């Protein structure tokens, strides 16, 4: 009887250790990103192809280990852009969604800049958030927090935490809804 109880106890402990290690294995940058992509409506949790820039400039520049991204805008999973001036009547949830899509666009560019491997990103250094919003618009900090929180959720605290600037602008190129600029460094 004692051997039977010991066997059940041993199996329970081994199963618990196995579940715990598989939970830890699932908490990877790629899995956190895929979860965010699915939540935002991207099929299969895959990043879309890198979108082209709108002028005679590059989507990113790498100098030594420093990565400089061109502003990234909110591109929906269907490939269309979220555009329009932000007003006091603009739905905050729509703006938060636009902000999250802008972060996904930035991560996509970071991935290309890092040779296809986001694990090569050593640190997100600085994020500028830009919103074409009216004077004294009350939600700019919420949009900036959305960007910051999402980068930390995906990259983790050590890599994803960063300095930031919040800018309210009169307009953005091609009437974009929201943009972010990111500076990062590779390992």
Query: Residue 152: is its pLDDT beyond 90?
Result: yes
Question: 59-94: per-residue pLDDT in tens?
Answer: 999 999 999 999 999 999 999 999 988 888 999 999
Q: Evaluate whether 179 touches 72 at the Cβ level (below 8 Å).
A: yes
Position 49 scores a pLDDT of 86
The answer to whether residue 5 scores a pLDDT higher than 90 is no
**Average of per-residue pLDDT across 144-162:** 97
Q: Would the pTM count as exceeding 0.95?
A: no
pLDDT at 15: 52
Query: Which of the residue ranges 9-13, 111-115, 133-137, 175-179 has the most confident prediction, judged by mean pLDDT?
Result: 111-115
Q: How far apart are CA 87 and CA 150, in angstroms?
A: 24
Higher-confidence position of 89 and 14? 89
Average pLDDT over residues 121-143: 93
Q: How far apart are CA 101 and CA 7, in angstroms?
A: 51
Average pLDDT over residues 98-111: 97
Lowest mean pLDDT among 12-16, 81-85, 118-122, 146-150: 12-16
Alpha helices (H) along the chain: 2-26, 29-39, 92-113, 140-155, 157-160
Say which CATH superfamily domain 29-186 falls into.
RutC-like (3.30.1330.40)
- Give mean pLDDT, residues 13-36: 71
Q: How many helices (H) and strands (E) in the chain?
A: 5, 6
| 3-class DSSP state of 59 | coil
Burial (CB count <10 Å: 0-12, 13-18, 19+), residue 135: exposed
pLDDT of 21 above 70: no
pLDDT at position 111, please? 97
């Amino acid at each position: 009887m004692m051997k039977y109880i010991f066997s059940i106890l041993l199996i329970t402990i081994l199963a618990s250790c196995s579940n715990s290690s598989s939970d830890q294995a699932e908490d990877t940058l790629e899995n956190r990103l895929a979860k965010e992509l699915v939540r935002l409506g991207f099929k299969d949790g895959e990043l879309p192809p890198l979108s082209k820039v709108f002028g005679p400039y590059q989507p990113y520049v790498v100098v030594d280990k420093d990565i400089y991204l061109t502003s990234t805008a909110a591109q929906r999973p269907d490939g269309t852009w979220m555009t329009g001036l932000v007003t006091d009547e603009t739905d905050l949830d729509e703006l938060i969604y636009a902000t999250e899509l802008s972060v996904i666009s930035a991560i996509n560019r970071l991935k290309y800049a890092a040779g296809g491997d986001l694990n090569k990103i050593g640190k997100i250094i600085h994020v500028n958030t830009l919103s074409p919003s009216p004077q004294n618009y009350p939600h700019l900090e919420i949009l900036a927090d959305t960007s910051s929180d999402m980068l930390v959720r995906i990259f983790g605290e050590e890599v994803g935490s960063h300095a930031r600037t919040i800018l309210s602008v009169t307009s953005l190129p091609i009437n974009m809804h929201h943009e972010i600029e990111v500076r990062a460094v590779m390992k």
